[in-house]
Chain A
Amino acid sequence: MSESQLLDFFLLRQYNIRVVVLGTVLLGIGSAAIGCFAFLRKRSLVGDAVAHAALPGVAVAFMLTGTKNPAVFLVGAAIAGWLSMVAMDAIVRRSKIREDAAIGIVLSVFFGLGILLLTRIQKSGAADQAGLDKFLFGQAASLVTADVMVFGAVSLGLVVGLALLHKEFKTISFNSDFAHSIGLPVRGLELAMTTMLVLAVVVGIQAVGVVLMAAMLITPAAAARYWTDRLTVMILLASIFGAIAGYSGALVSYLAPRMPTGPWIVTAGTLIFLISLLAAPRRGMVARGLRNRRNSRKTLEENILKTLYQLGEEQGGMFNLRTASDVARRRRIPESQALRGLGLLRRSGFVEQANNGWKLTQEGETQGRRVTRLHRLWEVYLTEQVSIAPDHVHDDAESIEHVLTPELELQLEALLNRPTSDPHQRAIPYH
């Protein structure tokens, strides 16, 4: 592979490169966009079944017409995909078979029928059968202008349809009862969504093949979900991810035309997914891990300050020296954990270490008092306003004390008329 050939690809210098790139990118965009709804409705595997089910449709279309016309394949695959949806629905509704098994049966039996017909076509020696093989794993390199015209048109139709209907789709996806109550034609919309899913699948199998089509629907959508909570942004992101995956597939197809394209597109998409899973802000695993660590450290610190404050209350001498084992015993935590927390607190200046123990600083005492106050205020709130028995309020207060904001604290004080003692008759320490 020479440099100029690579440049040919990246600059889209040749006509057939343009066709293949345009085709795979459009396929990526269309299926990723509609895939977002399949993902959000937890129906990703239904897409998988529809994709597998398209195979007998393509085979029958070929047997009936004897041509490789993409439009004919599209119709055949769409009908078969539709039938598979109807079959899954009927199995779940008419028997005790649950959705997972219904999907599995429809997927594998339709696929088996497709394989049976396909091998029959192969053995009958139909001259054009090579064109059917690419439906199994996809072969972007073999896309021709006519394919791209048809599939581009379908993808465009999907995107336009989604742009027009996305508000309605959003409503029926997230709250179908509400959709009913405001008079949306829920059944009609679901029909439209299903049809779009079938179309996307039927279009996408040209690039990735029936076996891996599910990934074109789910993987970009799942990746996009890590970056945003907004549906519109999610659809846009998923489309971009789908386009990148499709583009990578086209590149591989160009470099190694005999290689099936589907697996490479899927691998590229999975890579994007894994990066999102790890690195996305807020929802990504790294960000979440850091946040959890920060929270548990904050909780530990506040608990130890509270314990030191309460020891001061009970034994007198708020700023006396206490040992780590005093704290550990009072909080019923391992001594090592108490030591770790005390070390953290010393670094932030809330406690000081003297020869044989630890003592609160002025700031530490303020913080310990604040946490103790929040704990007791919450206990009062639960007993007085929520009517929970006094011996059941402690555990809840243990967790809420770390998250109450100063604004909420003021509201609590006002609501409870600044109580002086908690349900266990301990004074509530104000400023």
Chain B
Amino acid sequence: MDLNAFWIILTGALAAGACALVGSFLVLRKMAMLGDAISHAVLPGIAIAFFLTGSRAPLPMLIGAGAIGVAASVMIEALHRNGKLQQDASIGITFTWLFAVGVILISLFAGAVDLDQDCVLYGEIAYVPLDVITTGGGISLGPRAVWVVGAVFLLNLLFVILFFRQLKIVSFDSALAASLGISTALWHYALVGMVSLTTVAAFESVGAILVVAMLIAPAATAYLLTDRLKRMLVLSVASGVLSAVGGYYLAALLDGSIAGAMAVVAGGQFALALAISSRRSGAGNPAFLSVPQLISNQHEKNL
């Protein structure tokens, strides 16, 4: 394996791993489509940050897009609650509109900034090795993207490890969370914020739309294979990494987009897990029960 391939695969794997960590909670909390919405909605944030700073400086982009991601989820909630619009439509209307605004901005700024529609759709992971950070002494520290995506991966890992208990309880039983004094809204928006950050960081590698594949498919694959949250997180990261490696070689084989190939490999793994799990446990078996969920089931029976 040559060095370029190594950097590309490493970037893809880190991006997929970061997505899988937060994506697992999206899948568990039935928020998969909110993840889809956020990944579309950060586009205008990225476009504006590009335009204002004239560069791809990661920090303003992360902050701007993180804020817009949270704003989008607030808008979805407001349309749903104050506007009396059903949830699916409020998600659909919000993200298509924000995405449309993003594409318009990019078309308007075309030429002024180094960002185009292709990048929006499937990223530019093949160019990752070209943009290298060098020290004052001229020693190469590796591609910039590896550092950005790596930092977000570590941040997500820290987030999940430090707040594992809270995230778990909030995901499985919001009533129990409330009785323990854990704020559902706080953790909801914390998760939304982390998803936005991750989306932006992964944006350059896999593009705004295929981030969704990395957020949801590996997490859903893991969800099919295990009933335990910790194992699910580990498996989802493994499945994401496998998608990155497999995607690189599939793309090389077909001479196509690496990001597209990553999504295809992730989908293949999901199909395989689906075949295995439906043979093992029978149709539509809701086997994922943690202690809080058992408590809540018992609670419902008592009512």
Contacts and interface: CB of A to CB of B under 8 A. Distances in A.
B117 A137 contact: yes
A260 B210 contact: no
Interface in B79-104: 79, 82-89, 91-93, 96-97, 99-101, 103-104
B85 to A, nearest CB: 6
A179 to B, nearest CB: 21
B23 to A, nearest CB: 9
A120 interface: yes
Given A93-B284, A97-B223, A108 B30 contact: no
A319 B107 CA distance: 73
B104 A119 contact: no
A214 B36 contact: no
Label chain A's interface by main secondary structure: helix
Nearest to A39: B89
Contacts of B30: 98, 100-101
Contact of B274 (A91, A100, A104, A288): A91
Most buried by B among A42, A114, A263: A263
Given A44-B89, A101-B27, A215 B97 contact: yes
B160 interface: no
A103 B93 CA distance: 16
B78 to A, nearest CB: 10
Contacts of B219: 101
Contacts of B79: 277
Interface stretch (B51-59, B171-179, B184-192, B256-264): B256-264
A140 to B, nearest CB: 14
Contacts of A215: 92-93, 96-97, 100
Contacts of A108: 36, 209-210, 212-213, 216-217, 263, 267
What is the predominant secondary structure among interface residues of chain B facing chain A? helix
A42 B270 CA distance: 26
Given A104-B35, A218-B89, A263-B100, A97 B254 contact: no
A95 interface: yes
A188 to B, nearest CB: 24
Contact of B220 (A42, A45, A105, A273): A105
Interface string A376-393: 000000000000000000
Contacts, number: 207
Contacts of B133: none
B105 to A, nearest CB: 9
Interface stretch (A74-82, A264-272, A307-315): A264-272
Contacts of B278: 94-95
B50 interface: no
Interface of B: 27, 30-33, 35-36, 40, 79, 82-89, 91-93, 96-97, 99-101, 103-104, 107, 117, 121-122, 209-210, 212-213, 215-217, 219-220, 223-224, 250-251, 254-257, 259-264, 266-267, 270, 274, 277-278, 283-288
Given A113-B264, A116-B257, 20 more contacts: A42-B86, A44-B88, A44-B92, A98-B30, A101-B30, A101-B216, A101-B220, A108-B209, A108-B267, A109-B263, A109-B270, A112-B266, A115-B259, A116-B254, A119-B256, A212-B96, A215-B92, A258-B107, A266-B97, A270-B93
